[in-house]
Amino acid sequence: MPDHQCKGPSSACSSPSDRMINVFWHDGMLDHDTGKGVFDTGMDPGYLDVLEKHPENSDRIRNMLSILKRGPISPFLSWNSSTPALVSELLSFHTPEYINSLIEADKNGGKEICSGTFLNPGSWKAAVLAVGTTLSAMKYILDGHGKICYALVRPPGHHAQPTQADGYCFLNNAGIAVQYALNSGCKKVAVIDIDVHYGNGTAEGFYDSNKVLTVSLHMNHGSWGTSHPQTGSINELGEGIGFGYNLNVPLPNGTGDKGYKYAMNHLVVPAVTKFEPDLMVFVVGQDSSAFDPNGRQCLTMEGYREIGRMVGNVADDHCNGRILIVQEGGYHVTYSAYCLHATLEVDCTMVYVRQKGDPWNAIIVGAAT
């Protein structure tokens, strides 16, 4: 049993700083170099003068970092450092064989683990830091230091399954944090994943558990090969005692703000309400946005803002406001950062007035306490 205990809602902090968002970050995660090529292939066929960076590159995260430090919500954020995860913590979700294979690949200078997923020099340390950063945020909540924590991490993790990598992901940051919460005494944890792709790795890790409700709203993309055998269909419901605890919400291309709001209102919120979790994990990816090269879902900043509001309300109703937010995809280098800011705005309970010329067309005039 970890030293950090899952304190019930009645023992959670109740100071005005409850609505502060505690951001966890480490610069070492920028050392994951995914290279250049044609989109995410890492290949140079020789026909092009200018190659593009891999979609999961450090620029996207640098902009998320800068918008949180200089954007309107910056006064409502506190910054926290983190440390690498221990191998024993990785093994709470992943198999020893899989972890050993990654360690061996790193020792040998790295390799392409699966399509588009490159373990290069520096990648393994960044991946272990990403897990450690997410765990640091979870521990902060469990110890009662704050209710809302955001783990700004890369490489992403929600496609990583217990036995294999997938979709730019090596280690399942959110999944390991959920398991830590369960080991710390939390009885039920709800995971809401709004990345454009199915959170198959997290679902797979808890597929036979009735202690974790995994909910994923994603583009209806189906399986994309041996690294991603899951389809994300409505028929993948869990198995054994976990049957009924995996809720997939595959959405057609171009669903947009109104479609996501409808799905949240009529499917996600009722499911989480019935489950009655004592902690929530909100897995965010901005690749559902209108301009993302990896998605076609047409969410705008307003859509992300509304989803953030709804998730926050559910957490207030069932978890005394306790939410761990974990970063996943989002590959438009500029708009992803704006959508992240929009998602977090409501958690700061900020009040806006409209003003021409501001990047958000808004300024802060106060905050609820």
Helix locations, the chain, DSSP H: 58-70, 87-90, 96-107, 123-142, 173-183, 200-205, 256-263, 269-275, 301-318, 335-345
Q: How many CB atoms lie within 10 A of CB 353?
A: 11
In the block, tokens 């900043």 appear at 301
8-state DSSP, 164? B
Cβ neighbors of 227 (< 8 A, separation 6 or more) are: 114, 115, 117, 159, 164, 165, 166, 167
4, 158, 159, 218: the active-site residue: 159
8-state DSSP, 260? H
8-state DSSP, 26? -
Cβ neighbors of 145 (< 8 A, separation 6 or more) are: 13, 22
User: Is 159 among the residues known to form the active site?
Assistant: yes
Cβ neighbors of 226 (< 8 A, separation 6 or more) are: 114
Enzyme catalytic residues: 159
